[in-house]
Structure 1
Amino acid sequence: MNERIALTQEIPVALAGRRFDQVLAELFPDYSRSRLTAWIKSGDAQLNGETVPPRQLVKGGERVSLAAVASQEVPLAPEDIALDIRYEDADVLVINKPVGLVVHPGAGNPAGTLQNALLHFDPSLVEIPRAGIVHRLDKDTSGLMVVARTLRAHTSLVEQLSERAMHRQYEALVIGPMISGGTVDAPIGRHPRDRVKQAIVDEPAGRPAVTHYRVRERFRAHTLLQCNLETGRTHQIRVHMSHIRHPLVGDTLYGGGMKLPKAATADLGEALRAFKRQALHAERLEFSHPAGGKTVAVEAERPDDLATLVKALRADTKEHLDAENGRRR
């Protein structure tokens, strides 16, 4: 089935001075750059109602219109996959995605995805780009995602994302003791040699990326963080935490190999060995409702595997602190 696209959006002033094709990639991240460039050249993507070259520089405030028909690269079929719905109305859904569920079909994952599940839950989502999915979580990241159920809602949510008006809060467990929180402001782009990875890349190849983090709990060789995103780049928290030399526990792609503190308890050793994914959970999502503008705020509790690991880290830290205090008496 072909996907009918009819979207309009105003270019934020923050994107002034950038090329039209780069701006489209920023505003409509669900579509590849090559596809967006083809639509610019064919006149399906216009700037203030006019066809312009892909390299046209924008001033900010212009109106982008995208009217195209995109053939599905991977055939989509509704699949009866259980969804953990945390908020639902006629315009939006908020889903608590479990670990292991892929968001979009693609190479190696032709079926069994969140998109297939959404089409089964609400067949009318076939009329919305990407079945209403406006942002992503990695396969092995758990937590909250918002889904648009109408074109109006889709336009509004994409606009909130591009204007950094949607608030996304994560819990992350990282390797190493951290003293305080901070901000990582470093652009992210495709790794120059490893196409599976992202990396810190200077602009314009890299896109602006900002992550704020603060310490929630310290353990002997690990730290539990709260991370808040201003931007939503691929692997953003994973790349930024690795960049400051505190990669996520379980994130072997970005250097998060197992780290056992000296004389770790048996429970902690077992919990760390059993944890086979990046320790990242999207715990809170806040946005303006597309119809009426009321604030929608949804939270999702820490998943069982991460809760078990945090409990083991806490017990290990307490046991060694108690032993140290006993030696001082």
Structure 2
Amino acid sequence: MNADPRDEDDTELLEAEVPMHAAGRRFDQVLAEMFPDFSRSRLAEWIKSGDALLDGKQVRPREAVRGGEPVAVLVKMETETRAEPEDIPLHVLHEDEEVLVINKPAGLVVHPGAGNPRGTLVNALLHRDAKLAELPRAGIVHRLDKDTSGVMVVARTLRAHTNLVEQLSGREVHRQYVAVVAGPMIAGSTVDAPIGRHPTDRVRMAVVANGRPAITHYRVREKFRAHTVVECRLETGRTHQIRVHMAHVRHPIIGDPMYARLTQPRGATEALSEGLRAFKRQALHAEKLAFAHPATGETLTTEAGLPADMQHLLALLREDTEAFNARGGR
């Protein structure tokens, strides 16, 4: 039986010469400019481990270069993903040699973990492209909660992974969501409130003074008598950010099991009452993703329409609002 290639390290030796104009600068800084396909943190690890040598010697990252020295970097494409491939259908929106963009359905967990070692997006990705096992997190550079649907980008090469991570950290990726929230909203706004672990419930996130900066821009897309459809744009990407921010401004997302309670509008139609009770996941969908393609630099924009359950919920809300108006607002 052939050995599983994911159990073996794939290495490549890269050699170059330090430019003369770099004389006097730190080795780690120069190395990052010489090999831009790799992140600074990854290169720093290779310097410390002796996998990146300056003039044939292991040196400290802050070592000053003279210019003209040979540099050798042993690139380690270590197998960082131990999940097993599984034939799980994926809705692919875009695919090329560098990136894969998918429309994740609600209910699909992104990463394997305690309680869900199989049946995850990672398992599905490894079945589609076994080489993703060589990349951190199988190429996943951002995540969606289990019960949030919509667009996700996956890197297929180390260059793409590094580039996309840098775009995300630099707030250069356009991430647009649609949410159905409780209560009528008059206008959009921006929530600029730090997010961290809840002080007493460690499973939840919350707006806390010592949290990490978090900014969500939102605008009203459609109004109902007791609910609102909002379009949210992330400037940062904290855990549960939109869910926490919408609850913080007292418009929690419908169906959110962690940050919202089920409320029924007075005089709601029977169909809407049943629909709200039956909606067991946050009504949140990643609608649009736009980023600079890692290879070409051109903007790649992908969109995914609302899933059937959210479309059905909106239909019930429209019917309820029409019935309410027909009764003269009673």
Q: Give the 3 Å change call, closer, same or farther, for CA 44–189 of structure 1 in structure 2.
A: farther
Q: Once the 2 structures are TM-superposed, how far is the Cα of residue 252 of structure 1 from its aligned partner? A: 2.3
Q: Write out aligned runs for 1:161-240 (5 A).
A: 161-203=168-210, 206-240=211-245
In structure 2, the partner of 1:275 is 279
List gaps (5 residues or longer) in structure 2: 1-5, 12-40, 53-58, 63-72
In structure 2, the partner of 1:19 is none
Give secondary structure in 2 for the equivalent of 1:324: coil
In structure 2, the partner of 1:17 is none
TM-score, with structure 1 as normaliser: 0.78
In structure 1, the partner of 2:263 is 259
On the 8 A contact 2:256/2:281 being kept in 1, the answer is yes
CA offsets 1:135-158 (integer angstroms, 9 cap, x no match): 000000000000000111101100
Residue identity (%): 61
In structure 1, the partner of 2:88 is 81
CA offsets 1:82-118 (integer angstroms, 9 cap, x no match): 0000011111010100010000001111111000100
In structure 2, the partner of 1:313 is 317
Q: Does 1:302 align with 2:329?
A: no
Q: Once the 2 structures are TM-superposed, how far is the Cα of residue 305 of structure 1 from its aligned partner? A: 0.5
Q: How far apart in 2 are the matches of 1:266 and 1:235?
A: 31
Q: Once the 2 structures are TM-superposed, how far is the Cα of residue 2 of structure 1 from its aligned partner? A: 6.5
Q: How far apart in 2 are the matches of 1:157 and 1:84?
A: 21
Q: Does 1:97 align with 2:104?
A: yes
Give secondary structure in 2 for the equivalent of 1:94: strand
On the 8 A contact 2:100/2:154 being kept in 1, the answer is yes
Q: How far apart in 1 are the matches of 2:170 and 2:49?
A: 23
Q: Once the 2 structures are TM-superposed, how far is the Cα of residue 126 of structure 1 from its aligned partner? A: 1.1
The AA in structure 1 aligned to 2:249 is I
In structure 1, the partner of 2:136 is 129
Q: Does 1:153 align with 2:160?
A: yes
Q: Give the 3 Å change call, closer, same or farther, for CA 50–233 of structure 1 in structure 2.
A: farther
CA offsets 1:51-105 (integer angstroms, 9 cap, x no match): 59xxxxxxxxxxxx9x888785x84100000000001111101010001000000
The AA in structure 2 aligned to 1:249 is I
Q: Which runs of 4+ in 1 moved over 2 A?
A: 1-6, 42-46, 49-52, 67-72
Q: Once the 2 structures are TM-superposed, how far is the Cα of residue 124 of structure 1 from its aligned partner? A: 1.0
Q: What is the number of residues matched between the two proteins?
A: 277
Q: How far apart in 2 are the matches of 1:221 and 1:51?
A: 58
Q: Does 1:248 align with 2:253?
A: yes
On the 8 A contact 1:141/1:278 being kept in 2, the answer is yes
Q: How far apart in 2 are the matches of 1:220 and 1:156?
A: 44
In structure 2, the partner of 1:112 is 119
Instruction: Please identify the structure whose Cα radius of gyration is greater.
Output: 2
Q: Once the 2 structures are TM-superposed, how far is the Cα of residue 202 of structure 1 from its aligned partner? A: 2.3
Give secondary structure in 1 for the equivalent of 2:150: strand
CA offsets 1:133-191 (integer angstroms, 9 cap, x no match): 00000000000000000111101100100000000000001111111100001111122
Q: Once the 2 structures are TM-superposed, how far is the Cα of residue 132 of structure 1 from its aligned partner? A: 0.7
Structure 1 residues 189-198 or 142-151, which shifts more?
189-198
Q: Give the 3 Å change call, closer, same or farther, for CA 70–122 of structure 1 in structure 2.
A: closer
On the 8 A contact 1:4/1:129 being kept in 2, the answer is no
**CA RMSD of the aligned region, Å?**
2.8
The AA in structure 2 aligned to 1:200 is V
Q: Once the 2 structures are TM-superposed, how far is the Cα of residue 212 of structure 1 from its aligned partner? A: 0.1
On the 8 A contact 1:221/1:259 being kept in 2, the answer is no
TM-score, with structure 2 as normaliser: 0.77
Give secondary structure in 1 for the equivalent of 2:133: helix
List gaps (5 residues or longer) in structure 1: 7-35, 53-64
Q: Once the 2 structures are TM-superposed, how far is the Cα of residue 274 of structure 1 from its aligned partner? A: 1.1
